[in-house]
Amino acid sequence: MIADRFHQNFMVRGYAGSWHPSSHDQCSMLSVATSTRLLLRRHRPLPLTGRIRNLHRASSNEISILDQRYEVDGTTNITQSIIAKLPLRLHNQPAHPLGILRSKIESHFHDFARLSSVHPVVTPAKNFDLLGFPLDHPGRSATDSYYINKDYMLRTHTSAHEVETFAAGQSKWLLTADVYRRDEIDSSHYPVFHQMEGARVFKTDKAGIEEVKADNERLSRYLDQSNIVIEDIPHTSPTNPAQPTHDPVHSELVALNLKLSTNSLLLKLFGGGARDAPLQVRWIEAYFPFTSPSFEVEVLYQGKWLEILGCGVVQQLTLDNAGKYLCCFPFSAQPHPSPGIPDNIGWAFGLGLERIAMILFGIPDIRLFWSTDPRFLSQFSENKITTFKPYSKYPACFKDISFWVPEGGVHENDFCDLVRDVAGDLAEDVKIVSD
């Protein structure tokens, strides 16, 4: 008799093609979520010429990139999947973890100019030569960088914009952009990622040096009262020297300003409350062609030292080149002679936004930043750092299941054991939808 039975309905969420979602009916009761792993067969890679043939070609020997046509030549190694990323500019989305982190850093350096949306196609001169990269630097090779042709490439770092930004007369600035490097495939590497360059220059006259000293005093006072332990190294040393054209006293003052400014940023990003364990930061000697002295900074996080950024005192060559540069800032305007920044000394840092965002938001895989899945995007909102809640890598697949049960009903646990027997761990979630 129908009256003494219950008609039950279950919903199953899964991924495999063998499970087809059915529509809910009015008596659905439990939902079971499953996911199966998609195994991709490895294909032999297409030879390079084959891949180039697959690009958006305006004609047989041209490619179209952000509405601009470029001739291809023997250097061309940019691929379709990379071209597709160019318009996305994740750092400009205010409620995306990268946009949220960008705003947080910008609000810390509140009186710095904020630049973004700078075109990703640069000349090798901008990316390397004007910054003093040696000709045999590995970063220049076609196995490490994306070339459009011999004259144009995708920037590999935001430092590529140092010369033009200084040339525009900017003395305190942050520039955020997507950068491109050919890389391995795993959870922490992706050929496109986002960097923020920060820089500040001071005049070397009396007023400029007084400004550095006053800022150093202000920042030291703040850090002295803060819950931070800093493992420092000398500002300059024989292996990490001041530049020959710099007054060594000025170089030390500017390196100190860099360290104090960076430590206070790290405190803002990673510091806990006064009762938490102090934030531990350590400074390490480094080498970059475009800074001297140079440093890397690491933060102790969950028992591991994590590299956060590279920085140093800007090579005078960069500032000299800025003085000679034909300036076209904002980057679309007509080129005109640069106001330049003679008699200045300053610092710069470059940080990877993904690496920091993965820590702050608890995002376990760098590929998630590119997700357009609402299960990812809806978790974040402007100006808020929240912890990522994992979900299946696979699109949800719901199954509604309904059946008749004997009088007294079926216990949910009995049904769950039945699901386990049939679907194993593929079932993610089982829910009663209606009684």
Residues 147 and 76 sit within 8 Å (Cβ to Cβ): yes
Measured from the CB of residue 349, what is the shortest distance to ligand PHE in angstroms?
5
Residues 82 and 145 sit within 8 Å (Cβ to Cβ): no
Q: Does 180 bind ligand PHE (CB under 6 A)?
A: no
Q: Using CB positions, name the residue nearest to ligand PHE.
A: 350
Among 152, 329, 349, 380, binds ligand PHE (CB under 6 A): 349
- What's the rounded Cα separation, in Å, for the pair 283 and 37? 42
Among 201, 311, 313, 319, binds ligand PHE (CB under 6 A): 311
Minimum CB distance to ligand PHE smaller for 31 or for 262: 262
Q: Does 312 bind ligand PHE (CB under 6 A)?
A: yes
Measured from the CB of residue 331, what is the shortest distance to ligand PHE in angstroms?
19
Chain residues 48-77 in contact with ligand PHE, contact rule CB under 6 A: none
- What's the rounded Cα separation, in Å, for the pair 344 and 252? 14
- What's the rounded Cα separation, in Å, for the pair 227 and 280? 9
Q: Give the range of 103-111, 309-317, 365-373, 395-403 binding ligand PHE by CB under 6 A.
A: 309-317
Measured from the CB of residue 285, what is the shortest distance to ligand PHE in angstroms?
13
Measured from the CB of residue 131, what is the shortest distance to ligand PHE in angstroms?
9
Minimum CB distance to ligand PHE smaller for 131 or for 397: 131
Minimum CB distance to ligand PHE smaller for 29 or for 255: 255
Q: Does 348 bind ligand PHE (CB under 6 A)?
A: yes
Taking each continuous run of H as one helix and of E as one strand, the counts in the chain are 11, 19
Chain residues 11-40 in contact with ligand PHE, contact rule CB under 6 A: none
From 172, 179, 173, 174, select the one nearest 195 (Cα to Cα): 179
Instruction: Dump strand ranges (E) for 29-141.
Output: 30-34, 62-65, 68-71, 113-115, 121-122
Handedness of CA 249, 251, 256, 261 (dihedral sign): positive
- What's the rounded Cα separation, in Å, for the pair 400 and 10? 4
- What's the rounded Cα separation, in Å, for the pair 4 and 346? 83
Residues 312 and 258 sit within 8 Å (Cβ to Cβ): yes
Q: Does 112 bind ligand PHE (CB under 6 A)?
A: no
Q: Does 157 bind ligand PHE (CB under 6 A)?
A: yes
Phi, psi (deg, nearest 5) at residue 280:
-110, 125
Measured from the CB of residue 232, what is the shortest distance to ligand PHE in angstroms?
18
Site residue total, ligand PHE (CB under 6 A):
11
Phi, psi (deg, nearest 5) at residue 17:
-60, -20
Q: Does 288 bind ligand PHE (CB under 6 A)?
A: yes
Q: Give the range of 35-43, 52-60, 185-193, 305-313 binding ligand PHE by CB under 6 A.
A: 305-313
Cβ-based neighbours of 45, under 8 Å, separated by 6 or more: 51
Residues 361 and 98 sit within 8 Å (Cβ to Cβ): no
Q: Does 140 bind ligand PHE (CB under 6 A)?
A: no
From 331, 338, 349, 343, select the one nearest 200 (Cα to Cα): 349
Q: Does 291 bind ligand PHE (CB under 6 A)?
A: yes
Measured from the CB of residue 157, what is the shortest distance to ligand PHE in angstroms?
4
Residues 251 and 244 sit within 8 Å (Cβ to Cβ): no
Q: Does 315 bind ligand PHE (CB under 6 A)?
A: no
Measured from the CB of residue 158, what is the shortest distance to ligand PHE in angstroms?
7
Q: Does 346 bind ligand PHE (CB under 6 A)?
A: no
Q: Does 293 bind ligand PHE (CB under 6 A)?
A: no
Minimum CB distance to ligand PHE smaller for 139 or for 337: 139
Q: Does 257 bind ligand PHE (CB under 6 A)?
A: no
Per CB under 6 A, residues contacting ligand PHE are 157, 159, 197, 288, 291, 310-312, 348-350
